[in-house]
Structure 1
Amino acid sequence: MKGVQQFGRWGKLAPRYVGPFRIIKRIGVVSYRLELPASMSSVHDIFHILMLKKHLRDEEQQRVIDASEIEIQDDLTTVEIPICILAKESKNLRNKVIPLVKVQWSRHGA
C-alpha cells in the first residue's frame, strides 16, 4: 500500500510488538489512541484492543541504584559477586544431565 509505514521485515522475522507506548484516550469500546514518538508520525495512532499487549513493569528493573556504590572498571564493566545459591536443580535430556543453579548476585534482590 502506498504511503503506509511498515514495522520492519515481512514474514517470520517481522517484529510482533513495537515498544511500550502510553494510552492517551479510549475511543469507542475497543479502540485506543496511543502516544507515538515523532519518528512514527506516518503511522495512524488509533489501534484496536486486540493489537495491544499489556505491559507489566518489573519492580526489580525499576530499582534506583546509588551511583557511588557501583565500581566501574576502565573497560566500562562492573564486577558482580555471588552472595549465595538460592536453588539447585538438574535437568535430564535424553542421555545428558544438565545442572541448573540459581545464584543471588550482589546489588540485586532475591
Structure 2
Amino acid sequence: MRASQSRQKSYADRRRMPLEFEAGDHVFLRVTPTTGVGKAIRAKKLSPRYLGPYQISRRIGPVAYEIAMPPQLANLHPVFHVSQLQKYVPDPSHVLEADTVQVKEDLSIEMQPVKVDERLSKRPDGKATRLIKVIWDSRTGDSTWEKEEEMKKSYPHLFSGKS
C-alpha cells in the first residue's frame, strides 16, 4: 500500500506547479456575487467568479500578495491568499468592469434592483400573493420574481409614484 501511495504522490508532484507571482504581474481576484438579501442573482455557474485584472504591488510571503486596488474596492484589505488569485493572460474580453460593482469585505457583491418589469398575482393557498419581476442588471437583463410586499419594504424607491 505504501509503495502505491508513494508512486501516486510522485506522479502528482511531477505535474504540480506552485502558483507564484512577481511584483508587477496582473491577476484576477475571486469574488462571490450575491444580492443584498443574500440570494444569488443568477445561476452559480453563470456568475462572474473573478474581477480584474489588478496589479500585484508586492509579495508578502510564500502565499500572500498585496494587490493595488482601485478606488471602488478601497474598503477591501489589499492582501490576498494565492488561492483567491488567478493568473491574468492578456485578452480584452477577460476584463470585467468594476465601476458599478461594490465588493464587501467578505468578497461578496451587493446588487441593487433597477426596475420592476411585470406583476403577477398567485393564489396557492386561497390567499392572493402578489409577485413582481425585478430587473437586477439592465445590461444583462438578469431578473427574478420576488414578493411585492418584501420588495416594498426593502426598496421603496422602486415604487415611488406608482400604485
- TM-score, L = length of structure 1: 0.42
- TM-score, L = length of structure 2: 0.29
Question: Highest relative contact order (Cα 8 Å, sep 6+), 1 or 2?
Answer: 2
Structure with the largest fraction of helix: 2
